[in-house]
Amino acid sequence: MVSHHTKAIKSVEEKFGDRFSSLSDDHLNNVNLPRFKDLDTGIVFIYIPRGEYTMGFSEEEYIQIQKLTETPNISIEEMRPVRKVQLRPFLLSITPVLNCHILNYNYLLGKSIKVDGDDYSPFFCDYALAESIATNLSSKIPNEEEWEYACRGGKHSLFCFGNTLPTESELEKWLSWDLSSLTDLNCNDFGLYGLYFGEWCSNDFTVNLELNSDTVSGSKAVRGGGALFFPWQDEEWVYCLSAFRMPSKDLLGDQAAFRLKMEI
């Protein structure tokens, strides 16, 4: 009987040929999902399985957050109403696109995009550039439904790491800007790292999660962000909520990180 993993690997090989090298025998940090390395850019993708989840900030999560603070500084209305979402499997980069990936991209396509910071730090840019990079690499920016599903990693808790805040030393493994040695860091149950730098999503920001609700003019949806303010001075941990969302008009300099998604 062919295993689910074998089927997943075969489907990727059939669609992308020799573009990817399978790393599925190397279960990084005990996450048992197939991984693939893009041989051109060095970007590693992981297989996100099909599934259904409840998108948004549930009543159960509201009860849990009140154990951390009685008056959370969040716009609950923007994260509701909750709704069921079903998704097909897809590939997602295990980290945000890093500076080293952009340097490889420059070499591959003859570009001259400037990077700021260490090679293994997230690359920040405006949405237009992020979308252009994704398109040139035959990939896409995930939408909010996909991003939240991937961030939750199958959990229904406040954060992908549970309903409580870890110690500062453990938080550093979630929020580190140095993504060079992933074995030293924490990942969620879908094997994703660096989820909290503020990431572009492909859809426009809507005032709530109602289908076809009004959009905020000129704003894309941004997810995550807790690492941008660490060490926290107050309740900046709310930016780590799996359901937390914000309009790109609130970004400093219209810059965010991003992941790449590939449909299979």
Number of structural domains, the chain? Answer: 1
Residue 128 has what pLDDT?
98
Peptide bond into 81 cis (omega under 30): yes
Q: Answer for the pair 69, 163: CB distance below 8 angstroms, yes or no.
A: no
Q: What are phi and psi of 152, to 5 degrees?
A: -65, -35
Residue 24 has what pLDDT?
63
CA distance 156 to 53: 8
CA distance 45 to 192: 9
Residue 26 has what pLDDT?
62
Confidence of residue 28 (pLDDT cuts 50, 70, 90): confident
CA distance 13 to 19: 9
Q: What is the pTM of this model?
A: 0.96
pLDDT, tens digit, 9 for 90 and up, residues 38-88: 999 999 999 999 999 999 999 999 999 999 999 999 999 999 999 999 999
Residue 1 has what pLDDT?
35
Any idea which residue has 């069921």 for tokens? 84
Share of the chain above pLDDT 90, in %: 88
Q: What is the mean pLDDT of the chain?
A: 95
CATH number at residue 211: 3.90.1580.10
Which residues form the domain of 176? 4-263
Residue 91 has what pLDDT?
98
pLDDT, tens digit, 9 for 90 and up, residues 174-223: 999 999 999 999 999 999 999 999 999 999 999 999 999 999 999 999 99
Residue 5 has what pLDDT?
81
pLDDT, tens digit, 9 for 90 and up, residues 149-163: 999 999 999 999 999
